[in-house]
Structure 1
Amino acid sequence: MKGSSRSKGRSRGGKARNVLPGFGLSMGFAIVYLSLIVLIPLASVFIKTTGLSFAEFWGTVTNPRVLASYRISFFTAFSAAAVNMVFGLLIAWVLVRYRFPGKKFIDSLVDLPFALPTAVAGIALTAIYAPNGWMGKLLQPLGLKVAYTPLGITIALIFIGIPFVVRTVQPVLQDLNKEIEEAAVMLGAYRMRTFWKVILPELMPALLTGFALAFARGIGEYGSVVFISGNMPMKTEIAPLLIMTKLEQFDYAGATAIALVMLVVSFLLLLFINFMQWRINRRVVEGG
């Protein structure tokens, strides 16, 4: 019987067959699709940049105005993703662990930034946090200016990035085994210690995934930021806006040079985040 079952998993030539048929065809379609949608467009960025000499490329990407836009884009995107990592976990925890009136309504509100046009979000946030807006009027006497500052950009990126963290952490929380928490409490661990030692290690891979998604979205965000930022060079001008300015000036090589640096830096940061996620997953598996 064992010999016959083993022979079923092998072809006549003695090679092992895949359990699921059609893997080669499915893999081929997947590679072609990813090439057409992702790899070829990204490769065109590299190809277009070759129209510049190294001196021209270096002069474009190290221009003080360009460097300032890089700092603003990456700093605000990272700050917003970090804030969403904390409060996204809090929102997901409340939605999963508690029952209260209006829970489904609040749960549906989480997805609103996905459906709302980014330009509408930018206009709404600008109207609220502008000096004559109802929130801006309250904050201005305190010396806090939100609109037309990096803080306003960060708030806009928090708004559009919060669903990534909530929707990534929420299913992990739902599948978390509560018996492990109860066992930790019965063994004398306090609630906070149980959270840090038992729950958080299980949630950390999902949190890092949500952070990476929110960070990636924030780097390339344009519509919701362009209104509230004020677009002041060297102060609140983001890199995507500078790319659009280059394109409007028909400087395609300069635009792709700026985009190439953003692409490379974003890829390296996401690669580092994925590496940290892999290490945490491995530590959790070995600890389990």
Structure 2
Amino acid sequence: MGITLCYVAVVVALPIAALVVKAASLGLADYWSIVSSPRAVASYRVTVLAAAAATAFNLVFGLALAWVLVRYDFPGRRLVDAMVDLPFALPTAVAGIALTAVFATNGWFGRLLAEFGIKVVYTPIGIMVAMAFTSLPFIVRTVQPVLEDLDPSLEEAAQSLGSSDLRIFRSVILPLLTPALLAGTSLAFARSLGEFGAVIFIAGNQPFETEITALLAFIRLEEYDYAAAAAIASVMLLAAFVMLAITNYLQARALRYTARS
């Protein structure tokens, strides 16, 4: 326990404490001026909206992918299962460069989308694509073990009572998956909020349009304005804590509902 607590204190608590202390060194007026500046507010909007869109996409696609990997046996299944973890192993900067090349107007996918007037690179769509790519494994790997451990007798009982596949999924399977879905969704959203390497190459980094909050904090660091960087980062830190608190509350409610059912 001592080693664990020491590790947590050094790796987690100490950097957070340093961030809070640095941000607190600003006066309240200066702090508010920095975090509420038009450029900072625009970066919050771009980051949160893109992260929310990427998480919503991964919630649907990740659940479908986990379902296919668990319930179906097909050629190349192990390869697809291994590729789910690719964003974990691939450096995010490499992922950003690869996504930029693929979705550029002369890229494999970008060329096809350009015919329909859809531009991905250097737009908010590109940010969503990068965030979705890097955060997908969190939902798949969180839901997949729960699907594997589901008792098939529950579905068989529902089928014997004449329930349709959609009704079985909605009334039997989904309630059991809800805690895992909430956990995976919160992790994916948190990863998207803090994503940096994969985004900066595909976003274009235009202030008020495609500039994310992590990049704005990095810019302040390059300007040696450490207090401003800490102030901006503290906003995202607070947002992460609020999100985790809400997620834990929803998970607790979902577990109580499942236990009653």
- Shifted more, 158-167 versus 124-133: the winner is 124-133
Code of the residue aligned with 1:29 in structure 2: it is I
Tell me, yes or no, if structure 1 residue 188 matches structure 2 residue 188. Answer: no
Pairing of 1:69-84 with structure 2 (within 5 A): 69-84=43-58
CA distance in structure 2 between the partners assigned to 1:31 and 1:163 by the alignment: 28
Match of 1:132 in 2: 106
CA distance in structure 2 between the partners assigned to 1:277 and 1:80 by the alignment: 21
Code of the residue aligned with 1:80 in structure 2: it is A
Match of 2:38 in 1: 64
Q: Please list the CA deviations of residues 37-59 of structure 1 after superposition, one character each: whole Å capped at 9, or x if unmatched.
A: 11121111110012211111111
Give secondary structure in 2 for the equivalent of 1:142: coil
Tell me, yes or no, if structure 1 residue 98 matches structure 2 residue 98. Answer: no
Match of 2:125 in 1: 151
Tell me, yes or no, if structure 1 residue 121 matches structure 2 residue 95. Answer: yes
Q: How much identity, in percent, do the aligned residues show?
A: 52
Tell me, yes or no, if structure 1 residue 41 matches structure 2 residue 15. Answer: yes
Match of 2:26 in 1: 52
Give the drift of 1:92: 0.6
Match of 1:18 in 2: none
Match of 1:279 in 2: 253
CA distance in structure 1 between the partners assigned to 2:96 and 2:123 by the alignment: 14
CA distance in structure 2 between the partners assigned to 1:133 and 1:103 by the alignment: 27
Code of the residue aligned with 1:84 in structure 2: it is N
- Shifted more, 32-41 versus 102-111: the winner is 32-41
Q: Please list the CA deviations of residues 220-245 of structure 1 after superposition, one character each: whole Å capped at 9, or x if unmatched.
A: 11000000000000000001111110
CA RMSD across the alignment:
0.9
Give secondary structure in 1 for the equivalent of 2:191: helix
Give the drift of 1:149: 0.8
Give the drift of 1:145: 1.0
Show structure 1 runs of 5+ residues with no match: 1-25
Give the drift of 1:132: 2.2
Give the drift of 1:35: 1.4
TM-score by length of 1: 0.89
Show structure 2 runs of 5+ residues with no match: none
Pairing of 1:122-271 with structure 2 (within 5 A): 122-271=96-245
CA distance in structure 2 between the partners assigned to 1:133 and 1:29 by the alignment: 50
Give the drift of 1:81: 1.2
Code of the residue aligned with 1:87 in structure 2: it is F
Following superposition, which runs of at least 4 residues in structure 1 exceed 4 angstroms of deviation?
A: none
CA distance in structure 2 between the partners assigned to 1:163 and 1:141 by the alignment: 31
Code of the residue aligned with 1:73 in structure 2: it is T
CA distance in structure 1 between the partners assigned to 2:258 and 2:249 by the alignment: 14
TM-score by length of 2: 0.98
Larger Rg: 1
